[in-house]
Amino acid sequence: MIAADLQQPMLDGIRHKALKAGAQDRIELHLTASDSIGISERIDFCLSFWMVHEVPDRVHFIKEIASNLKPGGLWLIAEPKFHVSKANFTQTLEIAKSAGLSITDRPKIFISNAVLLKKEPTVVNG
């Protein structure tokens, strides 16, 4: 599992919780750059909880996550209803669709707009 964040204190908190749970060997902590996640591994699942609205370049961020997802990979996005407008969340979904992701579910998450996206496998003709 990779835990990626732009803020070192957030990663320090994850490290502390992982140590307490005895899970430190299963979590790779990764400090991102301000303009790139910087992960080359293909991933099965991504969780973005209450943070997409903070990304300066949502289009780049969403395309980067989409490119790192394996075909059939899932991405759960949750954004706070009290801070992110429905129009802003809808715009995020449109960007995700243009990056090759489709909506598979809209899970109920307390005081959040949430969506589960899936990377569709690419079909090669010929």
List the domains of the chain with CATH numbers: 1-34 (no CATH), 42-126 (3.40.50.150)
Contacts of 114 (CB under 8 A, 6+ apart): 76, 77, 78, 79, 106, 107, 108
Whole-structure pTM value: 0.88
Q: Is the pLDDT of residue 25 over 90?
A: yes
The model's confidence at residue 98, banded by pLDDT at 50, 70 and 90, is very high
28: which 2 tokens?
């790779």
d(CA 21, CA 25): 11
Query: How much of the chain, in percent, has pLDDT values that exceed 90?
Result: 83
Confidence at residue 126, expressed as pLDDT on a 0 to 100 scale:
55
pLDDT tens-place string over residues 40-96: 889 999 999 999 999 989 999 999 999 999 999 999 999 999 999 999 999 999 999
Asked if 119 contacts 70 with a C-beta cutoff of 8 angstroms, the reply is yes
Pair 5, 15: CB distance under 8 Å: no
Averaged pLDDT of the chain? 93
**pLDDT reported for residue 93:** 97
pLDDT at 28 over 60: yes
